Amino acid sequence: MDSKVTVGIPTYNYAHYLPEAIESVLAQTYANVEIIVLDDASTDNTKEIAVKYPVKYIRHEKNWGLAATRNTGLKVGEGDWFMFLDADDKIDKDLISLSLQYANAKKADIVGVWQKEFGDTDFVHYFHPEPTHQDFIMGNKINCSSMFSRKVYETIGGYDERLTAYEDWQFWLRATKAGFKVVTIPLPLFYYRKHKGSMIDKLIEDGLRDKAFEAMKDTLPDIYYDK
């Protein structure tokens, strides 16, 4: 039987972008996909948009933040594999199919792809084909929507809810420290929307990027400080 893939779509007041994200998952050439819209207490018409599609819809009654919203997806998702797609982003129709093929061929637990920016910029980020734990200590080497096996989550737990940024990078650090293998497909199959409302742009504008990095390091003293 084909592996089931859960795609969680965390969203907070992004109803205007949500259809593009959902439709990019519905267009996948791989069929066994579960889509869960994870609404982190939006005040716009997110629910009205989401329920028009064949997806599961879960709403937080208060805003818990991105890490907690992804963790809700991990708790309720039925997939053998997981990925999270922010509501302002999109994926290529072949991303899931190719990711599973790569995982099987390379015996990998986590599969990333190259990242194409769109919107305010037009740029492709290229990533290392097989980044190691040491590579991740130096920087985040895959995108936030990379696919990972259920075994990763069951082994290391979910996203760290103490963090308000870089929770995906910290997750990959813990996963690679635990011995899980990462591979990258050398194709730009993840479409990352660049716009002024994005989390990273806000961090840069507010001068908080270094502070966020230090906060992430503080959650991993055994990696960054115990030498």
Rounded to two decimals, the pTM is: 0.95
Residue of higher predicted confidence among 197 and 46: 46
pLDDT digits (tens, 9 = 90+) for 191-220: 999 977 655 665 555 667 889 999 999 999
Domain that holds residue 84: 5-224
Does residue 18 surpass a pLDDT of 80? yes
**Percent of the chain clearing pLDDT 70 (strictly above):** 94
Q: What is the pLDDT of residue 49?
A: 98
Q: What is the pLDDT of residue 196?
A: 72
Chain-centroid distance of CA 227 in Å reads 30
Q: What is the pLDDT of residue 202?
A: 58
Does residue 227 surpass a pLDDT of 60? no
Compute CA distances 186 → 35, 60, 114, 126, 168, whole Å: 25, 36, 6, 8, 20
Nearest to 25 by CA among 36, 14, 16: 36
| CATH code of residue 145 | 3.90.550.10
Compute CA distances 177 → 150, 165, 180, whole Å: 17, 20, 7
Count of structural domains within the chain: 1
pLDDT digits (tens, 9 = 90+) for 111-150: 999 999 998 889 999 999 999 999 999 999 999 999 999 9
Q: What is the pLDDT of residue 208?
A: 78
CA angle (91, 30, 180) in 5-degree steps: 75
Largest Cα separation within the chain, whole Å, is: 53
Nearest to 55 by CA among 82, 81, 21: 21
Cα separation of the two ends of the chain: 45
pLDDT digits (tens, 9 = 90+) for 186-195: 999 999 999 7
Q: What is the pLDDT of residue 120?
A: 87
Rg (CA), the chain: 17
Average pLDDT, the chain: 94
